[in-house]
Structures are given as structure tokens and as C-alpha cells.
């Protein structure tokens, strides 16, 4: 316990200084949320590269939580879905149902090249298509995998902070 306390004292703050607020248009529904966005992550068939980056976006260094975004355990608690991966046949219906379970106003963020245009999995036999073919997408994050900064920037567009 003392060792942990010494480590806390020695490490101090690891969160990087907040970059300037991203400009560019915000989705209409995001304005009604007022600086608090609960996020539910849906893996629609991803290779888990994007998951690692989402994990570090919410980790101590990038600390997406300071902008008012928080990961939650249930789509009922969520305001936004963070969808990764090309939508596979098995995940198309669960994704649609998860989207329906989110109370209005709701938003969808497509994270990674696979979610935007199927990336390297385009044309594969198990893939239905990009996320936008299954549910309406509000914000897209490019990259394979996207850098945590890009994910945080997309989340800040939703929270407006």
C-alpha cells in the first residue's frame, strides 16, 4: 500500500494537456446533450485494433473522460454508439437492435477505416457492409487503427467541451 502511494506521488499527473477544442460542424443532436455523452461501444466485427485505441483514448494519457464522455455498460444508458469494424452478417441485427435500444436523441460514431468503408475486409464473404449501410452514422473517425487523439477529437465534437 505504501509502495502504491509512493508510485502515485512519483508519477503525478500523466494526462497530457488538452489540445484546443476541435472546430467543424457538430451534429444537431449533440447540442441537446449539453456536455455529457455516455458512450456504448459496439464491436461489429473488428480485429480489436480499434478497441486497443479506444482503450487508450479513455486511459490516463488522453483521458477522454475529462471532456464529459464516459463508457457505459448498457445501450439504455448511452447517448452515442461507438461502432468498430466492418459489419459482419452475424452482427448486423444485433447492431440494429442496440441502436433501437438507445433512447433519443442518439448518435453513432463509426471508428476506423473498416467501419467507414470496410477497409481491408471489403468484399469478404462474411461482411454485410460499412456501418452506414446498417444504421445512420453521425461522425466518422478515419485510420487503421485511428490514433487515440482522433477518437478523442470525435468525442469532443459530441460533448462540445
Partner 1 sequence: MQALLVVAVAPLLVGLMRQIRARLEGRAGAGVAQPWRDLRKLLRKERIAPRGTSEVFRAAPLVLVATTLVVAVVAPFVTTASAIDPVADLFAVVALLALGTVALALAGLDTGTAFGGMGASREMTIIALVEPTMLVAIVALSVRAGSTNLATIVSSTLHDPARLVSPASLLAAAALVVVIVAETGRLPVDNPSTHLELSMVHEAMVLEYAGPDLALIELASAMRLTVFLGLLANLFLPWGIATTATPLALLLGVLALLVKIALLGAVLAAGEVFLAKLRLFRVPELLAGSFVLALLAVAASFFLA
Residues that bind partner 1 (CB under 8 A): 1, 4-5, 8, 11-15, 18, 32-36, 38, 60, 63, 65-68, 70-74, 76-77, 79, 101, 103-105
Residue number with CB closer to partner 1 (41 or 116): 41
Q: How far is CA 47 from CA 20, 43, 89, 144, in A?
A: 31, 9, 15, 10
Give buried/exposed letters for 21-44 (b at 16+ CB in 10 A, else e): eeeeebbeebeebeeebbbbbbbb
The 3-state DSSP class for residue 160 equals coil
| Min CB(19)–partner 1 separation in Å | 12
Residue number with CB closer to partner 1 (69 or 154): 69
Residue number with CB closer to partner 1 (70 or 117): 70
End-to-end CA distance of the chain: 36
β-partners of residue 70 are: 38
Residue number with CB closer to partner 1 (32 or 136): 32
Residue given cell 449501410 in the structure block = 133
| Min CB(86)–partner 1 separation in Å | 24
| Min CB(57)–partner 1 separation in Å | 12
Give the whole-angstrom CA distance, residue 87 versus residue 115.
Answer: 7
Residue number with CB closer to partner 1 (147 or 161): 161
| Min CB(147)–partner 1 separation in Å | 19
| Min CB(160)–partner 1 separation in Å | 11
Amino acid at each position: 500500500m505504501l509502495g502504491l502511494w509512493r508510485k502515485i506521488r512519483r508519477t503525478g499527473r500523466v494526462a497530457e494537456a488538452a489540445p484546443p477544442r476541435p472546430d467543424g460542424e457538430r451534429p444537431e443532436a449533440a447540442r441537446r446533450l449539453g456536455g455529457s455523452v455516455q458512450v456504448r461501444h459496439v464491436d461489429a466485427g473488428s480485429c480489436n485494433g480499434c478497441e486497443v485505441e479506444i482503450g487508450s483514448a479513455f486511459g490516463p494519457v488522453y483521458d477522454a473522460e475529462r471532456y464529459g464522455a464516459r463508457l457505459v455498460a448498457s445501450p439504455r444508458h448511452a447517448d452515442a454508439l461507438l461502432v468498430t469494424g466492418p459489419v459482419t452478417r452475424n452482427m448486423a441485427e444485433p447492431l440494429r437492435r442496440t441502436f433501437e435500444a438507445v433512447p433519443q436523441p442518439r448518435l453513432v460514431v463509426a471508428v476506423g477505416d473498416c467501419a467507414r468503408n470496410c477497409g481491408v475486409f471489403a468484399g469478404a464473404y462474411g461482411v454485410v457492409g460499412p456501418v452506414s449501410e446498417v444504421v445512420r452514422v453521425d461522425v466518422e473517425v478515419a485510420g487503421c487503427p485511428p490514433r487515440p487523439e482522433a477518437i478523442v477529437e470525435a468525442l469532443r465534437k459530441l460533448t462540445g467541451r
